[in-house]
Amino acid sequence: MALEDTLTAVGTAALARCGGRPFGTHLFSVWPGAAFAATAFPVRCTPGDNLAIHVAVAQAPPGSALVVDVAGEAEYGYVDEILAVAASTRGVRGIVLDGCVRDIGAIVRCELPVFGAGVAVREAGHEAGGSVGRQISMTAGGPTPLPVRRGDWIVADDDGVVCLPRGQVSSIIARTLDSVSREREIIDAVHAGESTLDLLGLDPSRVVGWEGGTDARSRRPGTGRSRTLEALREAAARSAEGHPGARPRVAPRPAVGESRRGD
């Protein structure tokens, strides 16, 4: 499995939980189901102008993704039908921009994954400068801007956008695969009738209105802390008998070794 396939399979939520750096929550996919994983080609626009994006489309390596800083002036349609078609034709995998887009229907028709902050009919100019291939800063999920460098990995799907800094990709994927595997075991155990309170070692007595008594886990001997991996696996095995369609979302761990060419 190629690295980009592994990243899109595990998804942004799991990656963000395991070291991926999330972009701001204001970004959304232009069309449902849009997703990609690719190395970043950073772009910085002059406010209200998209000349740098046109240059990036002409210069970005095929298979990369444009990550665009619009310098704080979001209320323009920086990406339109012309740019979307040009980017798709030249092999750009996707575009993430901290600004607005327009020509939504046309972008959907060309099936280019585009993630932006909104929709604006106002046309951007094409004369000012900007930069391509240089480090930029994007609005992030916290108070500190997120630096994006050329060669960082960008993963985007319906849950959001995350950045995997170059040099950390393999370690983040390894943690993510472990996390996804544990989560899959918990989900299979829930299918088998287990309680999330017991599986996760939660204390419901902290919630006003809980009617299970002062000992949150007295209903089940041996609980009172998070289930062991062995217990989860036993529950997963029981669940598999009744839910043969349940499958992990990702390939087995050896796929990561095959995919390290991108790190």
- In 3-state terms the chain splits into helix, strand, coil percentages (rounded to 5) of 35, 20, 45
Angle of CA points 35, 37, 43, to nearest 5°: 100
Residues 160 and 234 both lie in one domain? no
Q: Is residue 194 part of a domain?
A: yes
| Number of structural domains found in the chain | 2
Residues 175 and 162 both lie in one domain? no
Cα-based distances in Å from 25 to 39, 61, 116, 172 = 21, 28, 10, 21
Residues 249 and 129 both lie in one domain? no
Residues 140 and 210 both lie in one domain? no
Asked if residue 36 lies in contact with residue 65, where contact means CB atoms within 8 angstroms, the answer is yes
The region that residue 133 occupies, defined by phi over 0 for left and psi between -120 and 50 for alpha, beta otherwise, is left
Q: What span, in angstroms and rounded, lies between the C-alpha atoms of 181 and 191?
A: 15
Where is the domain boundary, 166, 198, 230?
166
Q: Is residue 227 part of a domain?
A: yes
The per-residue pLDDT for 214 is 56
Residue 221 domain boundaries: 171-255
Q: Is residue 17 part of a domain?
A: yes
Angle of CA points 169, 98, 54, to nearest 5°: 90
Please give the average pLDDT of every successive group of 10 residues along the chain, which has 263 residues.
90 96 92 96 97 98 97 94 97 97 95 96 94 94 87 97 96 95 93 93 93 57 43 50 43 39 44
